[in-house]
Chains A and B, each alone.
Chain A
Amino acid sequence: MLELAIKGGKKYWILIGGLLAVMGIAFVFWLWQLSFGLGITGMSRDVSWGFYIAQFTFLVGVAAGGVMVVLPYYLHDYKAFGRITILGEFLAIAAVIMCLMFIIADLGQPMRALNVIFYPTPGSVLFWDMIVLNVYLLLNIIVGWNVIEAERNNIKYPGWIKALAIFSIIWAPLIHTVTAFLYCGLPGRGFWLTAILAPRFLASAFAAGPALLILLCLIIRRVTKFDPGREQIQSLAKIVTYAIIINVFFFLCEIFVVFYSRIPSHMDHIKYLFFGLHGHGALVPWMWTAMAFMVTSIILLVNPVTRKNEAVLAFACVILFIGTWIDKGMGMISGGFVPNPLHHVVEYAPTIPEIIITLGVWATGFFILTILFKIAITVKEEVSGV
């Protein structure tokens, strides 16, 4: 089936070429990082995780969010999603691969990564995170590949695939929960030390993941002969709406607890992010933008008139995606490190090489996504005979 990926038009090859170019440049920078060390990034002793881990966290969400199209089909027999479950599964594959790449990019000694397996340490959340992510990747590869192959041969996928698909539905929330546990079980970091962190992660994941899927569906309809379907897109939009509302609600719960209890070690991080602390406030405009984007997207999504207009829907999804990305991909990680355990405010900003490597990983993800979607859509075009 892979051969379908090498039969494409000019635009397809331009896209592939462009992504490969970004990947190539980023690879060179990664080699530089390998030889110099992580010192080429903006990270420090005080903010010891930065852009890479933030992208990782956000993308685990995107990967888990893919389940929102798989779940209604397999668990509620919502037939309409049958057309697009494959898109959710393939998106999950690309997203998890990006996650794993960001972890590798963040390691000081990537050549030793397998030590996590050689010296298994069940007490460490990172050990479990490695397991849940890899299992989720495998599940989606098996399910996605079999489903699309069955579709191509005009047969129904075998029964055990359905069993695996249901298993992957249970697994999806797990990957993001375990990822949240990386942070929320750490004693000295007031910003993360909250039981709402995992639910918050899940809510923003189930908003951002399907929002990206909606955008991808709209693009697919434009550039290919396959139409994911208006009903499908509208159903996804409703899922996105509920999820983003719950996400903002959870955030407000956190705000209440923190600012009513007035415990400084919890307050100071949020103060830093939204108002600045001791004269440092690099993230303040970003955080307010994120909030404004999320609230605006809620207004546009809740109202059926605007939601049903696909141009407005697309706009709402774009700002929602950017909003949740800033919230998680920028604020969530450095916010936890500022102020540091000794209550010094040391700010963090990614460096140019760090951003280029990050873009390279994103490009790799989109490269994989493009190829997988190309295969899926070609099969769908073939089958429907258009």
Chain B
Amino acid sequence: MENSRRSFLKLAGISALGLGTKPVLNAFASSGEKHGPEIFPNQEALTAKRWAMVIDTRKFESEEDLEPIIAACHKIHNVPKLKEKRHKIDWLWTDDFKHVFTYQEHEFVNDRVKHLPFLVLCNHCEKPACVRACPTKATFQRDDGIVLMDFHRCIGCRFCMAACPYGSRSFNFRDPRPFISEEDKNFPTRMKGVVEKCNFCAERLAVGKMPACVEASNGAIVVGDLHDPESEIRELLKNNYTIRRKPSLGAGPAIYYIV
């Protein structure tokens, strides 16, 4: 509360400043010089033309291998643990092959695949249905392909949840804050009534860190630039057969699985 009031004041101050200086800036602009505020990218930031992820499921054996990865993600993003199943919020979770790759399994699929838990998360689709559906642009896609949420703009209509063909989105059916065991101050908590999902650790990439799941995966998860032929991810895609979820929908998921 205290915190949010302070940041509100800060924001208000900055906007007031912005309003006050605007005429001045305009005056500069009209004199032919460009004196707008310049934004410098963080030199350390990890960037890509098109982010993507490869999950090498051969390196996992059981739920236990995946738990720390999920825990890492949920911890730094303040994902609450709700007891009521209906209110559950997940950014990264696991499910069986037949549920993750719906209608792709068959009776004789090998035992390992049949019983292996697969990681599931937002696919950061190339043509995201959620972005198309959102009536406020609270869900939007960056130029590098990452699909993000503006928690302060979302009206909670949940059109995006109906639109997402992968079930990647969760809704805050109640105030999530009491259900966060240990709050990480580096990432905002959410309020009731808004949608959330995996953000590809955009906040970490921005300061030069790899996504939390990648760090916790002992090399089983790799992210990189799909447009860079030299990247590790392209190397992996070249040398391994990979599959994506529901390819026939044409959404272009950016999460590739080596099975």
Binding site for B on A (CB under 8 A): 36-39, 41-46, 48-49, 103, 106-110, 112-113, 115-116, 118-119, 121, 123-127, 130, 182-183, 186-189, 264-265, 336-337, 340-344
Q: Please measure, in the bound complex, the distance between the C-alpha atom of A188 and the C-alpha atom of B165, giving whole angstroms.
A: 4
Q: Given contacts A38-B171, A48-B161, A108-B171, is CB(A115)–CB(B246) below 8 Å?
A: no
CB nearest to A351 among chain B residues: B86
The stretch of B12-20, B97-105, B208-216 that contacts the partner chain? B97-105
**Residues 226-253 of B contacting A (Cβ, < 8 Å):** 246, 249-251
The answer to whether B170 has its CB under 8 Å from any CB of chain A is yes
Q: Please measure, in the bound complex, the distance between the C-alpha atom of A49 and the C-alpha atom of B173, giving whole angstroms.
A: 12
B195 to chain A: which residues have CB within 8 Å?
108
Q: Please measure, in the bound complex, the distance between the C-alpha atom of A109 and the C-alpha atom of B138, giving whole angstroms.
A: 13
Q: Please measure, in the bound complex, the distance between the C-alpha atom of A189 and the C-alpha atom of B162, giving whole angstroms.
A: 8
Q: Please measure, in the bound complex, the distance between the C-alpha atom of A354 and the C-alpha atom of B138, giving whole angstroms.
A: 27
Interface pair B193/A187, CB less than 8 Å apart: no
Interface pair B155/A265, CB less than 8 Å apart: no
Q: Please measure, in the bound complex, the distance between the C-alpha atom of A194 and the C-alpha atom of B235, giving whole angstroms.
A: 40
Interface string of B151-173 (1 = CB under 8 A from A): 00111111101111111011111
Q: Given contacts A36-B174, A45-B88, A188-B165, is CB(A115)–CB(B153) below 8 Å?
A: yes
Select one of B89, B153, B159, B249 contacting A187, CB under 8 A. B249
Q: Please measure, in the bound complex, the distance between the C-alpha atom of A112 and the C-alpha atom of B151, giving whole angstroms.
A: 11
Q: Please measure, in the bound complex, the distance between the C-alpha atom of A45 and the C-alpha atom of B176, giving whole angstroms.
A: 14
Interface pair B102/A108, CB less than 8 Å apart: no
Interface pair A108/B154, CB less than 8 Å apart: yes
Q: Please measure, in the bound complex, the distance between the C-alpha atom of A107 and the C-alpha atom of B162, giving whole angstroms.
A: 14
B163 to chain A: which residues have CB within 8 Å?
186-188
Select one of B85, B88, B172 contacting A108, CB under 8 A. B172
The answer to whether B115 has its CB under 8 Å from any CB of chain A is no
The answer to whether B192 has its CB under 8 Å from any CB of chain A is yes
Interface pair A107/B86, CB less than 8 Å apart: no
Q: Please measure, in the bound complex, the distance between the C-alpha atom of A92 and the C-alpha atom of B242, giving whole angstroms.
A: 54
Q: Given contacts A37-B173, A39-B174, A187-B249, is CB(A126)–CB(B87) below 8 Å?
A: no
Contacts A/B (CB < 8 Å), 27 sampled: A37-B174, A37-B192, A38-B174, A38-B193, A39-B86, A39-B173, A39-B192, A49-B162, A106-B157, A107-B155, A108-B171, A109-B155, A112-B136, A112-B156, A115-B136, A121-B134, A121-B135, A123-B132, A124-B132, A124-B133, A186-B133, A188-B166, A188-B246, A341-B102, A342-B166, A343-B98, A343-B102
How many residues of chain B have a CB within 8 Å of chain A?
A: 51
B161 to chain A: which residues have CB within 8 Å?
45, 48
B136 to chain A: which residues have CB within 8 Å?
112, 115-116, 118-119, 121
Interface pair B98/A109, CB less than 8 Å apart: no
- With a 10 A CB-CB cut-off, give which of B100, B135, B136, B194 has the most chain A CB atoms: B135
Interface pair B193/A115, CB less than 8 Å apart: no
Interface pair A342/B129, CB less than 8 Å apart: no
A45 to chain B: which residues have CB within 8 Å?
86-90, 161, 167, 169-171
The answer to whether B182 has its CB under 8 Å from any CB of chain A is no
Select one of A42, A110, A341 contacting B165, CB under 8 A. A341
Q: Please measure, in the bound complex, the distance between the C-alpha atom of A291 and the C-alpha atom of B128, giving whole angstroms.
A: 37
Q: Please measure, in the bound complex, the distance between the C-alpha atom of A119 and the C-alpha atom of B90, giving whole angstroms.
A: 28
B162 to chain A: which residues have CB within 8 Å?
48-49, 183, 186, 189, 336-337
A108 to chain B: which residues have CB within 8 Å?
154-158, 171-172, 192-195
Since A125-B133, A182-B159 are in contact, a sample of 13 more A-B pairs with Cβ atoms closer than 8 Å, ordered by chain A residue number, is A37-B173, A48-B158, A106-B157, A109-B156, A112-B154, A124-B133, A126-B159, A187-B165, A187-B249, A188-B249, A337-B162, A342-B99, A342-B100
A113 to chain B: which residues have CB within 8 Å?
155
Interface pair B137/A121, CB less than 8 Å apart: yes
Q: How far is the CB of A255 from chain B (nearest CB, A)?
A: 21
The answer to whether B61 has its CB under 8 Å from any CB of chain A is no
